[in-house]
Structure formats: structure tokens, C-alpha cells
Amino acid sequence: MVPFSLWATLLGASMLISFTPGAGAINTMSNALSAGFRRAVYGVLGQQAALIVHLAIVAAGLGVLVASSPLAFNVIRYLGAAYLAYLGIRQFLRRPDLSAEAVTAVANEPAWSMVRRGLWVNLLNPKAIVFFLAFIPGFVRPDQPLWSQYAVIGATIVAVDILVMWFFFALAAKGFQRFTRSERGQRVVNRVFGVLFVGVGVLLALV
């Protein structure tokens, strides 16, 4: 098990990481605006599934291969950047539609669609793997069973990220909902989040 003092440090670090705006936060806010606060959790759960995959890759030792292989790293990085750019362009070009049918269709987007989008947003980010490689070892004691420690670390990171994404970023998006009640407001919101998605994609590709 992870000692309490070490776990408390992990908890603080996880909170700092989760509160740092990124593609996951933008995706969560976008979902909350289109589908509502409650249903935004589906996208958050997809993002957590990606974090678990990243953690498993690091725990299995495969993260070192990704981090040390420029080809593998860049393939994943550019796929991630392209996906974020696709999401951004699609949202930027979305036409405002206040009809009851359109509002209902957007608000009732299938849960699996939101989960899948959240999964790909976080999964196609090789820098998360590199970050975990640098971050996780500081909280692992080699003289203790590794998988139980990874389980505690993973549960902590996921629990914190769910709470921050859903109860901070999704709630923050509620302040923008009044803009979606007019065509002009919808157009502004779509373009703002479209630019944000593309911007994060460009940063992923270039930085």
C-alpha cells in the first residue's frame, strides 16, 4: 500500500494536474453545454478510461518504448492533434439551430458516443504517457507489491479527475448556457470551443 503521507502528496499533485486546463477540460465543458451537466459525465468517464490505459501502459513497462521511440511517439501525437483539430473544425462550422428537433438531438447524444469521444481525446496524447513515466515512479515503492500500489495510484488519479472535470469544468460551463439560447450565442460558443480544440491540437503537434 502507499503510505498516507505519500498518498496525500499524490492527492495534491493529482488535483493540480486535473485543474490545469487541457483537451479533457474543453471536451467536458463542450459536452456540458450541448448535453447538460448530468450527461457530461459520460465524456468524463471516457477520459478516465484513457487515463487507466495510460497507467497500464506505464505499469507494464510499455511506456518506456513509446517515450523512447520517436516514430511511435510522433504517430500517436499527430493522430491526437488531427483528432482534436477535427473536433474543433466540426464545432466551429456547426450551424446554429434552435429548433426543438435539433436541441433534442444534441441533448440526447448517445452515451457511448460521448464516452468514445472522451476516450480518444485523452488516449491520443502520448505526452500523458511520458508524464506518467516521470510522475508515477515517485509514488511507487519498489520493495512493496507493485500492482496494489498502481491500483491505489490509479484510483486516486481517476477519482480526482472525475470530481474536477464534472463538478468544476462541467459546472463552469453552465455559466455559458444562456448564450446557447440564441443563434448568435450558439455561433459564438461553437466558434470559441472550436478554436480551443484546434488550439490544443496545434500545441500537441508542435510543442
The predicted-structure confidence for 173-187, as pLDDT tens digits, reads as follows 887 877 777 888 888
Q: What is the pLDDT of residues 8-63, one digit of tens each?
A: 888 998 998 899 888 999 999 999 988 889 999 999 999 999 999 999 888 888 77
Report the C-alpha gap between 1 and 115 in whole angstroms: 31
Residue 207 has pLDDT above 70, yes or no: no
Contact 155, 48 (CB under 8 A): no
Report the C-alpha gap between 81 and 31 in whole angstroms: 19
Q: What is the pLDDT of residues 61-93, one digit of tens each?
A: 877 777 778 888 888 889 989 999 999 999 999
| Confidence at 113, pLDDT banded by 50, 70, 90 | very high
Amino acid sitting at position 133:
L
Q: What is the pLDDT of residues 136-154, one digit of tens each?
A: 878 888 778 888 888 999 9
Q: Where do the structural domains in the chain lie, given as residue ranges?
A: 4-206
Report the C-alpha gap between 189 and 48 in whole angstroms: 25
**Nearest by Cα to 123 from 191, 40, 30, 27:** 27
Helix axes 100-107, 23-35, angle to 10 degrees: 140
Q: What is the pLDDT of residue 103?
A: 57
**Nearest by Cα to 189 from 201, 167, 174:** 174
Q: What is the pLDDT of residue 99?
A: 67
Q: What is the pLDDT of residue 31?
A: 93
Cα–Cα separations (whole angstroms), residue 144 to 1, 2, 133: 7, 9, 19
Report the C-alpha gap between 27 and 43 in whole angstroms: 7
Cell of 186: 450558439
Q: What is the pLDDT of residue 106?
A: 67
